Structure 1
Amino acid sequence: MNSTQNRDERTVPPDHQDSSSLGAVLKAARRRIGVTQTQLADLSSVSVRTIRDLELGLTQNPRRETLRLLLDGLRLTGVQRARVEEAAAGPASGGIPADSFAPPPAVLEPTVGRERDIEALLGLVNLGGHRLIRVVGMAGVGKTRLLQEVAGAMDASSRMRVLWAGPEGGATDSSADRSQAQVAELLGGDGEIDQLATAVGADDILLVLPDVTMNPDSLAALRRLLVRRRGLRVLYEARESSEWGAGTDYPVFPLSVADRSAGSAGREASVSPALRLMLSRCGSLEREASADSRTMAALAGICRSLDGIPRAIEAAAAWLLLYSPDQLLSLAGRDPFKLATPPGNDTADLRAVLQAAVESLHPRDADVLRRLTTHSLPWTMAQAFASPEQIGDPALSSIHLLCTLGLVRPANWDAGGTPRFTVLNLVRHLLAEDAAPAAPAPEPRVALRWQSPAGVESRSYAA
């Protein structure tokens, strides 16, 4: 040990500090890379005295810039860096009491066709590198259901506590209720980071935000909260990817449907995830459909007309009380949006969402969408464009955007393993409606009345 190191170490008494204190954690990190306080001062441009006072515990709350310089000088990243930052934040509050967390709202009906999505999202939540996860997809695709499934699985596994900050379900204890209110205030721009960070505490917690609208300010507030509380993970839903590049996107697409171009290789090949969902919502018809190939084909056609969108399929199942499967398939060919809305519900939410997405497109992307609708079957990128030169960054960007907005969805891969896509059938109908010429105005007519022997008569003539 050299004289400089001897001099440095004599300033530090034997280790009687809490091993989780900032001084102990900082000293351990310095010793791990084998540098003295003087050498660390040279590496970080922080004075030796400041480093000594921090390690002795004489300074408990270093400035943020001082801490950053020290962490950079120690070359700390990942978990090691997070440990020092947590120690610098001081002893955490116990947070919300464990027994104040009620289970997230239960999923009341089977979730069909989302097994891989649930598994993938659980993997993202359990990996420390993904702490702000955004479930992205069009309206009606089942984002909230996925959040419920993941939150329920995490809560049941006891790997981390779950705070469901939604309009229903979640915790009922007053302390957790206050935290839910603080989350809402934070996202609305009125909340305080310190209060919520104290409430959350240092434990591993999954904060689930269903049906939220993010803006740059609310997203920035969430990121600050994540920095303050390294045990926190956030899972929320959105209709589009973030424009601000924070977090991890997990795209959710409609359920896959039977591919008309693939032929039929028996009953099992035709039971797509979308058809499984339809059968699960058909009640007494499910057994009949399973034994009748014509009924199965009609239901598969309905699912295909509705693009495998779960909410639309569930709405169509309600119409089976009024129509036979064959009648419903015929109606789906004429007006699929009618089927996508439950009987007695006059709101055209799905139509409005798709219409708004189409109207939001840049003219270049709108032109790509119109050209893609000419392909009646799923297409690869090579099939979608006339020449390889057209498959450049602008084309790829357009297709990615159209998928993100829910106007185009992935289809089954071709025999060579190349991804294929298709424009939603509902979008085709929407574009066809917009392109249809307006009905001509009724021809003006003049009504004439006169007295005849039989009484008063009238007749109308073109003006």
Structure 2
Amino acid sequence: MSIDVGTGEDVPQFGLLVRQHRLRIGLTQRELADFSTVSVRAIRDLEQGRARRPRQDTVRLIADGLRLGLRARADLETAANQGRTSWAVKAAYEADPPAPPFALDVLVGRETETSTLTGELASGAERLVTVTGVDGVGRTRLALEVATRLHTAERTPVLWCAADAAPAGGDRLAALVRACVHQLLNAGDATDDIAAFVDTVADRPPLLVVDGVTGPVVRADRVAALLRDCPGLRILVTAAQPLHLPGERTFLLTPLAVPEDDDPLTIGQSPAVRVFVERARRVRPDFTPAPADSGLVADICRRVDGLPLALQAAASWLVVYDVPTLHQCLHADPANLLHHLAGADGDIRLRDALDHRLAALPTADRDLLADLCRRGDRFGLADVTALTGSSLPDSGRAVRDLVLRGLVQPSYEAGQSRFRILHLVRATQLESAARPAAGVPAHVGA
């Protein structure tokens, strides 16, 4: 049997009214729960002020369970609406489902990844997806494509929020979304904005996109509660690494496929080459690789690992270089390779992001990667156990962490697992090791 607990001064008017009506007709919390089909816990939380924003169907069910007349029911509904998000915001949200930001370019070479994620989120098979991968691989662009397809096909509301956005400013719905995300990602006691978010969207659950999570603090309990309190809500996160949340589906976004050989008939079909040529035509509209240069273009794409942002940086140099000169520059040495990551416009965000990514690794992972980079770019698990003296399971866990961060790519050769360190990661590590000790560079998101 439920035990009534006295209420304090901080209990909202709705909770006080529910308790007064319940006691007036002699019901316990358990009996009211049975009559209304609202859980005992929910009734207790409302009466004690721990829950402050009851949903509309909860208000209706409690009013039915209390057998309230028209006036008492109206008073209860008025009390429930006090302190809630504006009904105008909720009405506008439901009448005109928000759309994701507009994409400025066409996504190339990601049809499989886009279809997979769109299908999983559309069906509800996955409700919490984290897209991870090395900086510059296109996590944000993939999330944007998935969100656009869901919105276009099903009119799914899309609420897009940068993880580092301030929780204030902008229109009221955008401000509410940012405040909710802020409470999901930060350690603090307040959860009112999460409750207000549920209030607003629960009747038409959206796709919530949280773009660019880098910090270590993610409140697993709050994410779980949000998914529980808002059935149908789906959350798509882009992050530097898995968040390790219950129910999380980690989706590792790997670089674009590069040509496996120098066959002119297949080089042009490679997604990495298609992106390189498309980006090159932004600086040289007449650019078409000569047949003699096709192998060099393929090798350039391999050298920058098929990373979209690195392909863009390399292609931007064609305003100055011809293809053979660009190929020569990218193969000269690691320092030159990283210099050209800045692109012809001097934008160094990818280089800085890789520097930051390596500096932020746990010490053991960073030391292992440094040792592997000095030995070459390819290795197997046996090499790791010999290098570290660790057991096979411990070596596997260490390599798995590097793979899920996108720094190392797995392959399967002759029935054995093999691994390759990305050229750009190895170049960054070797150059960093050669530099004098310095502070960690400021992170610039990719």
Counterpart for residue 333 of structure 1 = 331
Q: Deviations over 1:86-126 (max 9, x none)?
A: 97686798665333334211222121111111111112212
Q: Given the alignment, which residue of 122, 127, 132 partners 2:118? A: 122
Query: Which structure has the greater CA radius of gyration?
Result: 1
1:249-264 matches, within 5 Å, as 249-259=250-260, 263-264=261-262
Would the aligned equivalents of 1:95 and 1:200 in 2 still touch at CA under 8 Å? Answer: no
Would the aligned equivalents of 1:96 and 1:200 in 2 still touch at CA under 8 Å? Answer: no
> What amino acid is the match of 1:62?
V
Relative to 1, partners in 2 of residues 1:117 and 1:420: Cα closer, same or farther, differing over 3 Å?
farther
1:207-218 matches, within 5 Å, as 207-213=208-214, 215-216=216-217, 218=219
Say which SS state the counterpart of residue 373 (structure 1) adopts: helix
Say which SS state the counterpart of residue 253 (structure 1) adopts: coil
1:142-291 matches, within 5 Å, as 142-158=138-154, 160-166=156-162, 174=171, 176-187=173-184, 189=188, 192=192, 193-213=194-214, 215-216=216-217, 218-245=219-246, 247-259=248-260, 263-268=261-266, 271-283=269-281, 289-290=288-289
Indicate the larger mover: 316-325 or 300-309: 300-309
Would the aligned equivalents of 1:101 and 1:162 in 2 still touch at CA under 8 Å? Answer: yes
Say which SS state the counterpart of residue 207 (structure 1) adopts: strand
- 1:196: Cα distance to partner? 1.2
Q: Deviations over 1:179-208 (max 9, x none)?
A: 334434434555512211111122231111
Say which SS state the counterpart of residue 281 (structure 2) adopts: coil
User: Does 1 or 2 have the higher relative contact order (CA < 8 Å, sep 6+)?
Assistant: 2
Q: Deviations over 1:368-424 (max 9, x none)?
A: 43454367575555677769x97711121121111223321235x43x465543111
- 1:252: Cα distance to partner? 1.1
CA distance in 2, matches of 1:390, 1:258: 36
RMSD across aligned positions (CA): 3.8
Indicate the larger mover: 129-138 or 304-313: 129-138
Q: Deviations over 1:322-344 (max 9, x none)?
A: 11111111111231112211223
CA distance in 1, matches of 2:231, 2:130: 18
Counterpart for residue 403 of structure 1 = 403
CA distance in 1, matches of 2:363, 2:210: 34
Would the aligned equivalents of 1:95 and 1:198 in 2 still touch at CA under 8 Å? Answer: no
Counterpart for residue 48 of structure 2 = none
Say which SS state the counterpart of residue 210 (structure 1) adopts: strand
CA distance in 2, matches of 1:176, 1:55: 36
> What amino acid is the match of 2:256?
L
CA distance in 2, matches of 1:422, 1:405: 13
Say which SS state the counterpart of residue 40 (structure 2) adopts: coil
- 1:146: Cα distance to partner? 0.7
CA distance in 1, matches of 2:372, 2:227: 42
Would the aligned equivalents of 1:137 and 1:251 in 2 still touch at CA under 8 Å? Answer: yes
CA distance in 2, matches of 1:434, 1:111: 32
1:70-85 matches, within 5 Å, as none
Relative to 1, partners in 2 of residues 1:365 and 1:322: Cα closer, same or farther, differing over 3 Å?
same
1:56 equivalent in alignment to 2:35? yes
Would the aligned equivalents of 1:185 and 1:191 in 2 still touch at CA under 8 Å? Answer: no
Give the gaps of 5 or more residues in structure 1. Answer: 1-48, 68-84, 439-463
Q: Deviations over 1:311-365 (max 9, x none)?
A: 11111111110111111111112311122112232x5333333333333445543
1:421 equivalent in alignment to 2:419? yes
Would the aligned equivalents of 1:281 and 1:314 in 2 still touch at CA under 8 Å? Answer: yes
Say which SS state the counterpart of residue 393 (structure 1) adopts: helix
> What amino acid is the match of 2:345?
G
Q: TM-score, normalised by structure 1?
A: 0.66
Q: TM-score, normalised by structure 2?
A: 0.69
Relative to 1, partners in 2 of residues 1:56 and 1:244: Cα closer, same or farther, differing over 3 Å?
closer
Say which SS state the counterpart of residue 165 (structure 1) adopts: strand
Identity of aligned residues (%): 26
> What amino acid is the match of 2:319?
L
Relative to 1, partners in 2 of residues 1:337 and 1:96: Cα closer, same or farther, differing over 3 Å?
same
Say which SS state the counterpart of residue 320 (structure 2) adopts: coil
- 1:247: Cα distance to partner? 1.9
- 1:283: Cα distance to partner? 1.4
1:348 equivalent in alignment to 2:348? yes
CA distance in 2, matches of 1:185, 1:360: 22
